[in-house]
Structure formats: structure tokens, C-alpha cells
Structure 1
């Protein structure tokens, strides 16, 4: 793939290319800002939950950059699908694990306070 112009990619309708490009650029900017905030929060809290959220947001940044690379023809569609769907699965597992950990700590705190 040697496309470098998103308006020239065969799988993308030229009329929709500006919309897709704008959405992906906003996703990259937004997830990068959130990732930066999560790094700051983790550096202050140093807890496993904050680390999990930081990793998840880092994966979202990488996912968005992969999408941008695909639009510019730098990432083949097969690699795009492998990376993005793998990241989707990993993000879901990490979020569910964070929720699980959160619930178990809350349960323990509730049991400790009832026993006092």
C-alpha cells in the first residue's frame, strides 16, 4: 500500500473521506488528552486501578492512531483489523477487571465497617 492521500484510497468514498478523517483526528486528539490526564492521575495516586485505566486509554490512543494510519494507507486493512479488534478485546478485559477489583474492595470495606 503506497497511498498517502485519504481521498485516493479505494475502499473509502471520497465524499466521506473528510468526515472520517475529521472523526479519527478528533479521536486521536481526545484520547491523547485523556491519556495524558490519566498519566498525571496515576503518577499522583499510584494505584493499580489508575494504572489499568492509564493502560486502557493508551490502547485507545494506539487504536486511533492505527485508524489514522489506515486512512493514509500506511497500515494495511488486515493489520488494521487485527490491531483494532485485539485492542477492543484487551480494553474490555481490562475494564471488566478494574470493575471487578473495584467491587471486591468496596465489599471488603463494607464488611469491615459493619464489623466495627
Structure 2
């Protein structure tokens, strides 16, 4: 595997390369920012629900970095697809599990949570 310029990839339309590069860089910056916010929230709350969401955000960062690596020729396209579809599935499972864990037992009315 060798490093290439995203402007020399045969599977990317040269006119769309700058747009694709910008979108992926924004995705990396955005998901990393969200992951950091999620990590701070988890460290403050220390609950399983916050941990699950933080892991999901970490997977989104991984997914974005793999896309960037693919654009620069560092990640083969086959590995890119295998990893990204696996990450998509993992995200779906973790989000559904977080929703399941926060079922009716966690719901409180405002008066119950105030101790009235």
C-alpha cells in the first residue's frame, strides 16, 4: 500500500475530489468534536447509557478516519467497505441497545425527580 494524492485516484471524479475531501475532513473534525463532548459527558455521568453513546461516537470517528485513509490510498477499498459496513452495524446495535436499556423503568415525571 502506498500513499497517493486524492487528486490522482481513478475511482473519484477529479472535479468532485475537492468536495469529497472537504466533506470527509469536516466529518473527521465534527465526529471528533462530538466524541470529545460525549467523553466529557460520560466522565461526568458515569452511566452505561453515556458509555454506549460515547462508544458510538468513537466508532463514527473511526469511520471518518477510514474514509480519509481510503481517499489518500492508505486503506484499500475492500477493507474500507468491510470496516465501514461493520461499523454501521455496530452503531445500529449499540444505539438500539442504549434505547432498550433506557426503557420505561428510567422514565420519571418532573415531580418524581424533584422529590415532591
Return the TM-score normalized by structure 1.
Answer: 0.89
Q: Can you give the 5+ residue segments of structure 2 that lack an aligned partner in the other structure?
A: none
Question: Whole-Å Cα distance in 1 between the matches of residues 83 and 104 of structure 2?
Answer: 31
Q: Contact 1:3–1:9 at 8 Å: present in 2 too?
A: no
Name the counterpart of 2:17. Answer: 17
Please report the RMSD computed on the Cα atoms of aligned residues, expressed in angstroms.
Answer: 1.4
* Offset of residue 3 of structure 1: 4.2
Name the counterpart of 2:67. Answer: 67
Name the counterpart of 1:79. Answer: 79
Q: Which runs of 4+ in 1 moved over 2 A?
A: 104-107
Name the counterpart of 1:55. Answer: 55
* Offset of residue 106 of structure 1: 2.9
Name the counterpart of 1:99. Answer: 99
Say how many residue pairs are matched. 110
Q: Contact 1:6–1:17 at 8 Å: present in 2 too?
A: yes
Q: Can you give the 5+ residue segments of structure 1 that lack an aligned partner in the other structure?
A: none
- Summarize the alignment of residues 15-54 of structure 1 with structure 2, pairs less than 5 Å apart: 15-54=15-54
Return the TM-score normalized by structure 2.
Answer: 0.89
SS of 1:35 mapped into structure 2: helix
